[in-house]
Amino acid sequence: MPHSRILPAAAALMLMSGLAACDNKQTAGSNENEVLAQYRANPKFADRIVGDKFSGYVFASPETQTMQDDDFENPGMLAVQDGETEWSTVAGSAGKSCASCHGDAAKSMKGVAVTYPKFEPKRGKLANIEHRINLCRTEQMKAPELKWESKPLLGLTAYVEYQSRGLPISVKVDGAAQPFFEEGKKFYYTRRGQMDIACNQCHEANAGMSIGVENLSQGQSNGYPTYRLKWQSFGSLHRRFEGCNEEVRAQPFPRGSDEYTNLELFVAWRGNGLKSEAPSVRR
């Protein structure tokens, strides 16, 4: 793993000591800390909070929120435009494009992305939007799979997700999906890496708390794929998972792996009811 992608020792110590120091003070008569209670009281966030679930939007700076809110300023909309072009581009020996089967994405794809990941019988396991796109390419278009994190795959994913913007996340975790959901849940609560930290320690126990300059969110996925200011580029949720693993000095899994796809389902379930914001802007 390149040294530049490993959390520096000083930052690692700050994270460990910060988690230990966060007292997560509770407000009277609630199970929320003071910061989350302040977010809830702000009418600006009324449609970004559902029950005890807070979109990552509420943890962003006002400048970042403004950037996301304006489609002319949101850099993620460039990926949506790329995806719109790819949607009608013929590829593969079948001579088809996405539009050949699905027609107008605004109609055929509305409400689709918010139900993923889901069990895919042809894979015998979960598929997320990226997997589903590549299945369509190989089986219907007779075209090669698109590389994970490539501009065409990110664009198509963003374009499909965009058709459901504003609709509530609604993944199912029963039936054939249940064992994969349980694996994702196990991943979320398992300590890992040299820092011995699990996902829930940041995103449940200390959501709303600050560690140095970092303001911890609930780690909700309703804004992905996203333009992340830290990356200065557009990226997938699995890229974010990879970065989290590296920050706790754990060996990351490949993007598109079963481990990250199972985790994606569990994280999406945590945010059921939050509206989709893709393409969002995050810090």
Q: Please indicate whether residue 244 is annotated as part of the active site.
A: yes
Closest by CA to 187, choosing from 77, 94, 263, is 263
Per the CB < 8 A criterion, the answer to whether 183 and 262 are in contact is: yes
In 3D, which of 163, 141, 120, 121 has the Cα closest to residue 279?
Answer: 163
Biggest CA-to-CA distance, the chain: 64
* Short-list 266, 273, 267, CA closest to 170: 273
Q: How many CB atoms lie within 10 A of CB 44?
A: 11
- Contact status, residue 173 vs residue 190, Cβ threshold 8 Å: no
Catalytic residue (choose from 22, 199, 202, 244): 244
The amino acid occupying position 31 is N
For residues 222 and 165, the answer to whether their CB atoms sit within 8 Å is: no
CA distance 128 to 267: 13
- Is the Cβ–Cβ distance between 24 and 18 less than 8 Å? no
Give yes or no for a contact between 73 and 66, defined as CB atoms under 8 angstroms apart: yes
Sign of CA dihedral 220, 224, 229, 230: positive
Contact 190, 245 (CB under 8 A): no
User: Catalytic residue positions?
Assistant: 244
